[in-house]
Amino acid sequence: MKNPEIKELSIQELKERIKSEKETHQRLVFANTVAPLESPTKIKAGRRLIAQLNTELRQKEYSLLRERCKEILTASPVITSKTFSEAVAQVQKDNNIKASKKFTAQLAEEMNVVVLR
């Protein structure tokens, strides 16, 4: 699967594809354990494809999170650290996305929000 094809997939399609590729990879690893494969590079290619799919999934999730948070926060007149945290938590919950603290901090910086610890 080529990069442009991966970029065209939706978040749900990426999740399904990752699941199927992981199952295929596990079968290949098992088959290689039982009897060595003629082409063990298939295992390496499978790992790389899973990594590419995961990377694209994460990028799409983060862009969705960024987009939705900006929509919510532009509607409020004053953005405090509390309203920012609530908006991020709401978007994460609604879309079943987990954002790292680093990403949340970058998003806060983009929106000029000072998050108090």
Give 46-97 pLDDT, tens digit per residue.
Answer: 999 999 999 999 999 999 998 988 888 887 777 778 888 888 888 888 888 8
Q: Where are the domains of the chain?
A: 3-110
52, 3 in Cβ contact below 8 A? Answer: yes
pTM: 0.82
Alpha-carbon torsion, ordered 92, 66, 59, 93, to 10 deg: 10
| Average pLDDT over the chain, rounded to an integer | 88
